[in-house]
Structure formats: C-alpha cells, structure tokens
Amino acid sequence: MKLWQKLMLSALVVASGGYFWFLLGGAYPPTLELISSLSAVVLVFFLGMLGLAFILLEKNISALLVLLSASPTLLFLGDKYLALGIMLGSATLSFVPAHRIKKEIKSRMIFSVGEMLHKGMPVFLTIMALSLAAFFYPQLEAITFQDVIPESFFEKVLAFLPFEVPEDALYQTSIDLLQERFRSYERYLPVVFVFVVFAAFRTLFILLGWIGIAISWLAFKILLYASVVKISTRPMPQEYIEFK
C-alpha cells in the first residue's frame, strides 16, 4: 500500500473509533440498555476498519490507532488518569490480537481474511469490553439498584411474559425488596455494575464482531479488486530426504 492509502485507512479507524467513544460519552452514566443503534453501526464499521489495519499495517501503527481512537474518553471522564489508563491499556493490549493475526498470516498457506481475523478479533473485543467497563465505572455518585436494573430494562423483560403485570408497582416492589435484603452489600454495587457492563458488552460483541469481520472481508475484496493490494505466492522451504 502507498503512504496515502495507509493514512486514509488510519484516518478511517481513528475517526470511526473516536466517534463511537464520543457517542458513548453522551450516554454517561450508562444503563443496561447498552448502546444506541447509531453507536452499534459506528462500532461495527470501526471494527471492520481496525481488522483491516491489523492485516495491512504494522502492529505499532495499529496500537497507535487504538490509542487515538479512545482519546474522546478524556472529554467525558472526570478522572483523567482513568481516561489515560483506558487509552494506554487498550493500545498496549491490542498488540496481542495484532500479533496473533500477523502470526496467522505468516503461517497460513492460503490467504483468508475471515480465518485470520478470527485468531485475533475476539481478543480485541474482550479488550474493548474491559475498556467500556472501566469507562462506565461509577466515580461521582453512588450506584443504586435502580442503576443496575433500570426500569426500561425491567419492562423489556416483562414483555416476554404471557400475561400482563402492573409494571410500575412490580418494579418498585422489586427494588424495595432488593434494598431491604441486600442493603449491607450495597457498597459492592459499583463492582457488580462494572462486571454486568463488561458481560453485557462482551455478549453483544459476539454478534457485532462477526459483522465487523464481514466488513473487513468486504473492504479487503474491494482493495483487491481496485489493485490497491494483491495476493502473491512465495516458495516455502521444506526439508526432505534423498540418497547421496
């Protein structure tokens, strides 16, 4: 790839990743409703472009892109050290999926974008879920049971019941019961909340990760068709036995 093409890919990664964090910052503090549809669309595009970057760019460049894409956390987090920790932590840990993908590229006989990304993207999705859990860690206010189980989430769960129930009264009764039974453990709610956020995002990323890999595959095919990149073959050294 030429320099301007690498710069364009880098710009797409940083812009989409930064926009995702920017959209997410507007939902701070979070609920279990996770992310909006727009945020999900931006995220899968970011994952698609980042997957392409893992394949086509050097590992240190990919890590730098992850660092820059998370920079909007500095705008929304009062604790700037936490924001820097998210940026540096996600960037440093991104060397792991980048290395696994590069290793898979070198060891494969047939170039397959999907199979190569499957070696590394699940690891990056776990890193993203950890970063999001850290981003949403409650800092200024105490977390309550209403934050952990918002009423809107409660209503969606009740919608699956085959009969109607008084949602408002049942929700408040459930919250009161939780507060009565587990009041002594309420100080641990921030940790529980972070774990729930991590688990929820990591579960959501199972689907979004597949879509992101599909976008990477499609983008690579476009680059291949446009002659921006090409797949070449090279002889592989092999040991064998022969008579002298």
The pair of structure tokens assigned to 198 is 């991590």
Q: With contact defined as beta carbons under 8 Å apart, do 113 and 222 qualify?
A: no
* CA distances in angstroms from 33 to 128, 172, 178, 238, listed in the order given: 17, 19, 20, 55
> Which pLDDT score is estimated for 168?
63
Measured between alpha carbons, how far is 4 from 54 in angstroms, rounded to an integer?
17
Full-model pTM: 0.81
Per-residue pLDDT tens, the chain, 244 aa: give them.
788 889 999 999 999 999 999 888 765 444 445 677 888 999 999 999 999 999 999 999 999 999 999 999 998 888 889 999 999 999 999 999 999 999 998 888 788 899 999 999 999 999 999 999 888 876 545 666 766 666 666 666 666 666 666 666 677 787 778 777 777 666 777 788 788 889 989 999 999 999 999 999 999 999 999 888 888 777 766 666 777 6
> Which pLDDT score is estimated for 150?
67
Region of 172 on the Ramachandran plot (φ > 0 left; ψ -120 to 50 alpha; else beta): alpha
Return the HEC string of 93-145: HCHHHHHHHHHHHHHCCCCCHHHHHCCCHHHHHHHHHHHHHHHCCCCCCCCCH
